[in-house]
Every structure is written in structure tokens, then in C-alpha cells.
Structure 1
Amino acid sequence: MGEARRRVAVVGAGVIGLAVAAELGRRGATVTTFDPEPPGSGQSFGRVRAFRVAHPTVIGVDLAVRSLALWRRWEEQWQQPLIRSHGLLLADVERHAWAQSMARAGQPFTLPDRAAAAELCPLVAADRLDPAALIFDPQAGAIDTRATIEWLLAISGDYDWRLVPDHVVRVRPQSATGASVLLADGTEQAFDAVVVAAGAGTEALAAGLGLHLDTLPQQRTWAALRPRLPLAQTAMWMQMLPGHRYGWAQLGSDCLVAMSGDWSSNNPSDTSAGSFAAALAYAAELMPVLDPTTARSQEAQVAPVDVPGGWPFAISTTGAVTLIEGNQLFKFAPLLGRMLAAAVEGRDAVG
């Protein structure tokens, strides 16, 4: 008789949860994914995400390069583009640190002046930019989030995988070789291993394991606007604003521009309407070519975690339970799928 398949539960059907489910299925595991919301909801919602190689640390750059190679492999298998690479103009960054990390990692970048910035991203009012804080990442691009979720669901369906629309309220290691999940209806199911990739819900599940995650609950708002006049495809734009606020724009093939901003949900004045208004005010100041009357919005609660040591994410293991924590992880999805699957198998997740 053949060796029995490992039974693995994945908590969360966002892009990371689906990526690890697909990878575990490819490796022969029987996978059950739990999420009360439709796949791609929560922190994975929206139309577009930014992929960038540029990071302020060498390890961040190296991980992004590894992830990009896996994104390209996904595209070859799907036979559709998942990342549309037109470059990314970053503003208000500590340019020396970012440029130094890119140079040490051997990755291309440029340090544009205002004229070059205006040519790269004509959406932005270049006269309002600080030329000493600009860096351009030519390998960056816009991730098509919907196509990515569709792809992961398609390949997961090829394996021994099922999606259960239920809420996991607790995860508990049973031994070094097993763990269980407690569902909202009070039933408990046992598995050989559990992976927690529950986005904003990870903190509560980690607390039940005695782990403290240093999260800052936030509300993320996307405002999609159309340009007043037709524009050719341009580079993406990202501005690192104080207090972990940022704005970015990407002109897609349908001429929609998506922007996002983070506002702390701990502040009573930071409401959904207020954050959307702030996004529109930001667009009016920096991107006057956009038409505010065409604006549409989406928002979601997120809980980013600042990971020490320059890493953009951290993988923790307690018995047979593995958790992923970090911030803005969509771009690392194919790499994290492999790393988390390796952690479940007891192998070095970094290798």
C-alpha cells in the first residue's frame, strides 16, 4: 500500500492561503481551506496590487527577485499575464538606502530627476516631487489580483483540495505531528498540520497559541478613478507618506486608476468616508489629470505586522501549526506558497 496523504488545513482563502494550498496539493497533500468569505476577500481584495523588486533591505530585494521568477512560472503555466511590468516610480523614500540595497543585490534601478519622473509617470504633478527622494524600479509591475485568484483556484481544483466556508475560531497543536481547528459551530477537526494565513484574523488565532503579533489594525481604501483624457500605459506610482500612509496609482488597460491609503482604525476620526475623501484629495493634488466624478471605492480591514531584521514577513511554527505574518505580502505569494509548504514538511522554509 502507498503512503497515506498528509491532511493539511489552511486557514484563509486569500492569495497566500490559496498559494500554499496549491503548492501542498502539488506535493501530494490532501488540503482543506477554511474561510467564511469568498476566495480573494479580506486583505487580498481589490483589482490590482503593486509588485516591486525595490526594497530598503537586501533581503527584501532578494526575496522579491525569487518571487518574480515564480510569478513568471505561474504565467507560463496559466498562459496569461499576471504581472504587467511597466516599472514603478517611488517617491519620498530614503533613496540612499533603497539604491544601496538594489545595487548590492545586483538589480537595475535609476534615480530620475523631475523631468524623467514626468516622462515615466505623466499622471503625477512632477513639480510637487522632491527629486532627491525618487527611485525608479524598472522590473516592477501591476499584479492582476482577480486573474491571480482565478489561477490559484483553477490549479487547486486539480488536486485533492476542498474549500469550506466556515470560520475557524481556534487552532490547537495536538502533538508535534498533529493539530486541530475549532469551527464557529463548535465542531473540531483534526489534521496532520495547519497553516494559518488568515490576514487580519491571524492575530487572534496566534494569541490562542500564546504568540503575540505586533499588529496595527488599519482600514485600507481603494479609490478607482478614470483620467479626464485617454492616456497611454505609464509606470506605476507609489509615495511613502509619514505614518505608514501611502498612495499609489496604476493605469490599467481599461484606463482605470487605483489608489490606496492606510488609515488607522484605532482613530475614531478615520472613517470609511473620511479615508475615501482623503484619497480623493490626494489625487486632486498630485494627479490633476484624474476625474474625481468617476471615483469608486472599496475598503477592507487589514492588520499589517512589522517584522524585525529587514524581512518583509516571518514564518512561525508551533508544533504542527505554521503561521505567516507580515505586510503587503501579495507580491510574495508564489514564494510564500513554497516556503510555507516546506515548513509544513519540516524543511528549511528559507531554502
Structure 2
Amino acid sequence: MQIVVIGAGVIGLSVATELARRGARVTVVDQHVPGAGTSSTSYAWVNANKKEPQAYYDLNLAGMEAHRRLAEATGGGWLNTGGHLEVATDPAHAAELEQRTARLTGHGYAVEQVTAERARQLVPDLLVPLDAGPIVYFPSEAHCYPQLYLAHLLTAAEDLGVQVVSGAQVKAFDFDAGRPVLRLADGTALGCDRVVSCVGRWTGELLAQAEIPLAMETFTRPGDATVGYLAVTSPVPVALSGLLTTSRLNVRPDGAGRLQLQALDLDQTADPRAVPATDSPLAEELLDRLAGVLRHSRAATVSELRVGQRALPSDGLTVAGPVPSRPWLYVVATHSGVTLAPLLGDLVAAEVYDGVVQDLLAEFRPDRLLASGVRHAPAQPPRRPGEQ
């Protein structure tokens, strides 16, 4: 079977390697270079923490397990399994965290409420206010270094004979003797048996070329659900091995002493067309918050400030499945791309190549976003601490 995968991010390359492992002849095409899209601007938190409804929670939980299995089997240095500590310092966050902890405990999720003393053992440089609300530890959560994961995938893909073509923009879908043909911008025609679309936030644009109106959120204004700030600091002597979430700042290691910062309440001005400078008031605000969360971070500077753009189906949930009117076309799009990448690689390959329907994907077929006249409430930005 000859298969073209469109998109060389963490999802596309995961799918491509698993298809090739099963025996498919795979070509990956990307309009840019591997990892240039959402994969390169992700907080990369591997979790099922706030994932609802139940089917979405189950899918993300399986994604966490798939990441860990793959990392253990390959010695993957892309996965940091240092866990996640969450500290509530305002009443709304405290109430929401208590409710969420109870709900996750009921699911059997790995979660425990800890004392301030235990929190400082987990994060030695943590500054915990005396009036801090619940402090909760999620030991099974992790974060990913997407570029290292992509390096692993590219090596595996090359070993399996996958052809990766960069700078190749798909301009049209066509047919020749009943087989789909991709027309590229440079005039190249790629014939195949199946096509798998893994283009993230460009999904709606790509599928429109095949007259398939899949409902995806697109950037329309600063601070909408598709965008958010991410900052990377200079190296600092801070003892932090995993993720840390507080009421005002999310922090995780970014390698070599650098930290990655995220503050969801500041995202209201995020605009990919106007990224603030690394010495802007926004950057200074992030650094001030960091200094209030972790000791020894006062000397940090912001070395990178990005506006991440999310791949977001219109109802906020994953899309994975064939398009009913184009059975040769399989579509994958999800906001939880990093968490789900190894799992979706396996599940999608099983459906596309083996023809084995995967129960975990039953609730996430593209049909729900293709039906004429069906409306969905607009996807919402990630919930800030304390939001229900």
C-alpha cells in the first residue's frame, strides 16, 4: 500500500513511522520543514488532567501510557517524567482544584494532595505562601521536548524507508485510474492508495481543496482560543525537575537550565502578527511572576517569546477518521497533539493499513464536524486556574 502523509509534525511523523513499520510505502510532505508548525510552539504537557468528556479523558490517558512505553523501549530523551505539582493561591483556583482532584481520584488517576513540606521536597526552590490553598501532585504527568521527539521520529522514519519531502505544498487533490493524486505547488503529482492529513491548524484550509468543509477554529482576533504566549528564559540555577502550575504562572524545564513560562490570563493580547519583544512589559510581567514562584530566578531574562497557535477542531476535541465521502482520505487534527502523538501513530496506522477499527477513536470521527447545519459552540481557550 502506498500512502502519503501530509504534515511532518509530531502527529504526521508518528503516523508515518507506524505505517512504514507495518509495511506501507510512505511519503511525508510538508509545506515547511519538520516540526515548523504547532509542534514547535507547544507547552508540550503530557497529561489527561483537564480532559473531558470521558472518551477524551480515556484517549489522553492512553496517550500518556503510550508515550511512557515508547520512551522506555527506545531510551527516548524527549520525555521528562518529573511529574506535575499544582499550587492554588487564590480561592477560585483552590475550589476548582479540590473539585478536579476529587473527580480525577474517582477516575483512578494518579493524584495526591501534599503538604507544603512535601511540595518543597518535590520542588526545592518553590516559594509557597503561608496561606496557600491545596497543593496537589500528579506523579504520572510529564512534559515532552518536541524537537527531540521529532529527531527520534525522523531517524526511525529514515530507517524504515519513509521519504520526507519538505517545502512541498499541496495545491489540489485529483484522481488517476481511481487512485488519489496530490498536486503539489511545484507541479509534482503524487499518486497513492491512501492520504492521511496531519496538518494541524491548516486542516480546514487543506480539506477545502477537496471541497470538504471540516469545522476548525482559525485565528480571528488577539486572545482567541487558538493562540497563547510561551516564553523561554535564560539559564538559571533553579531546582525544578517537572511541571509547576500556580494560580498566576505555569513553569517547566526547557533544558540546560532554561525554563518555559506560560500565564493563561495574559493570553488575551496574544497575536501571531505582533509578537512582543523579549524586553517588553509582557516579558517583564512573566519574569516578575517567576521570581515570586521560584527562588534563584530573579536574574532570569526572556530569551525567546513566542505566540503559539493551536490546532483546534471547532468543538475542542480530537478528529481522527476517514472522511465518509472520500474514503481514501483519513484526517487527524487535535489540540492534544503532543500527548496523543505516539498513541495516534499506532491507532491510525492500525485503521489505515490493517483495517482494524479502534474503539478509542469511536467518538472522534470527522462526521460530527461535517454534518450540514450542525453547529458547535466555539472552542474556548484553555481554562485558567480556578475556571470551571
TM normalised by structure 1 equals: 0.81
Q: Secondary structure at the match of 2:245?
A: strand
Contact preservation (8 Å) 1:89, 1:237: yes
Cα offset for 1:214? 3.2
1:136-173 C-alpha deviation (Å, 9 max, x unpaired): 31111221223211111111112131011133334537
Residue 190 of structure 2 aligns with which residue? 189
Cα offset for 1:113? 6.0
Cα offset for 1:28? 0.5
Cα offset for 1:24? 0.4
1:68-79 mapped onto 2 (5 Å cutoff):
68-79=64-75
Once residues 300 and 169 of structure 1 are traced to their aligned partners in structure 2, the CA distance between those partners, rounded to angstroms, is: 25
**Closer, same or farther: CA 138–183 of 1 in aligned 2, 3 Å:** same
**Closer, same or farther: CA 341–131 of 1 in aligned 2, 3 Å:** same
Match 2:46 to one of 44, 51, 74: 51
Once residues 182 and 99 of structure 2 are traced to their aligned partners in structure 1, the CA distance between those partners, rounded to angstroms, is: 43
Contact preservation (8 Å) 1:88, 1:137: yes
Moved more, 257-266 or 206-215: 257-266
1:88-117 C-alpha deviation (Å, 9 max, x unpaired): 124548335533442233122023466655
Once residues 42 and 334 of structure 2 are traced to their aligned partners in structure 1, the CA distance between those partners, rounded to angstroms, is: 21
Contact preservation (8 Å) 1:37, 1:165: yes
Cα offset for 1:274? 6.4
Match 2:238 to one of 231, 237, 240: 231
Name the count of aligned residue pairs: 336
1:213-265 C-alpha deviation (Å, 9 max, x unpaired): 2314244443222465x333343123588xxxxx5211355221112467478
**Closer, same or farther: CA 283–257 of 1 in aligned 2, 3 Å:** same
**Closer, same or farther: CA 312–265 of 1 in aligned 2, 3 Å:** same
Residue 303 of structure 2 aligns with which residue? 296
Once residues 349 and 79 of structure 1 are traced to their aligned partners in structure 2, the CA distance between those partners, rounded to angstroms, is: 27
Residue 278 of structure 1 aligns with which residue? 282
Once residues 172 and 111 of structure 1 are traced to their aligned partners in structure 2, the CA distance between those partners, rounded to angstroms, is: 53
Contact preservation (8 Å) 1:248, 1:259: yes
Residue 329 of structure 2 aligns with which residue? 321
Q: Secondary structure at the match of 2:256?
A: coil
State the percentage of identical aligned residues: 21
Which letter maps to 1:145? P
Residue 340 of structure 1 aligns with which residue? 348
Once residues 98 and 139 of structure 2 are traced to their aligned partners in structure 1, the CA distance between those partners, rounded to angstroms, is: 17
Contact preservation (8 Å) 2:42, 2:308: no
Contact preservation (8 Å) 1:20, 1:336: yes
Q: Secondary structure at the match of 1:40?
A: coil
Contact preservation (8 Å) 1:315, 1:325: yes
> Whose strand proportion is higher, 1 or 2?
1
Mapped pair 1:63 → 2:59: yes
Mapped pair 1:38 → 2:33: yes
Once residues 24 and 8 of structure 1 are traced to their aligned partners in structure 2, the CA distance between those partners, rounded to angstroms, is: 8
Which letter maps to 1:104? G
Which letter maps to 2:291? M
**Closer, same or farther: CA 194–265 of 1 in aligned 2, 3 Å:** farther
Q: Secondary structure at the match of 1:224?
A: strand
Which letter maps to 1:283? L
Unmatched tracts of structure 1, length 5 or more: 1-5, 242-246
Contact preservation (8 Å) 1:224, 1:256: yes
Contact preservation (8 Å) 1:25, 1:159: yes
**Closer, same or farther: CA 250–178 of 1 in aligned 2, 3 Å:** same
Contact preservation (8 Å) 1:53, 1:65: yes
Once residues 124 and 271 of structure 1 are traced to their aligned partners in structure 2, the CA distance between those partners, rounded to angstroms, is: 33
Q: Secondary structure at the match of 1:142?
A: strand
Contact preservation (8 Å) 1:89, 1:236: yes
Once residues 249 and 42 of structure 1 are traced to their aligned partners in structure 2, the CA distance between those partners, rounded to angstroms, is: 22
**Closer, same or farther: CA 322–221 of 1 in aligned 2, 3 Å:** same
TM normalised by structure 2 equals: 0.74
**Closer, same or farther: CA 350–182 of 1 in aligned 2, 3 Å:** farther
Q: Secondary structure at the match of 1:272?
A: coil
Residue 150 of structure 2 aligns with which residue? 149
Moved more, 72-81 or 320-329: 72-81
Residue 88 of structure 1 aligns with which residue? 84
Match 1:11 to one of 3, 6, 21: 6
Cα offset for 1:124? 5.4
Once residues 29 and 307 of structure 1 are traced to their aligned partners in structure 2, the CA distance between those partners, rounded to angstroms, is: 32
Residue 255 of structure 1 aligns with which residue? 257
Once residues 103 and 26 of structure 2 are traced to their aligned partners in structure 1, the CA distance between those partners, rounded to angstroms, is: 38
Cα offset for 1:207? 2.7
Contact preservation (8 Å) 1:13, 1:39: yes
**Closer, same or farther: CA 250–27 of 1 in aligned 2, 3 Å:** same
Residue 23 of structure 1 aligns with which residue? 18
Cα offset for 1:212? 3.0
Once residues 66 and 198 of structure 1 are traced to their aligned partners in structure 2, the CA distance between those partners, rounded to angstroms, is: 22
Once residues 21 and 125 of structure 1 are traced to their aligned partners in structure 2, the CA distance between those partners, rounded to angstroms, is: 44
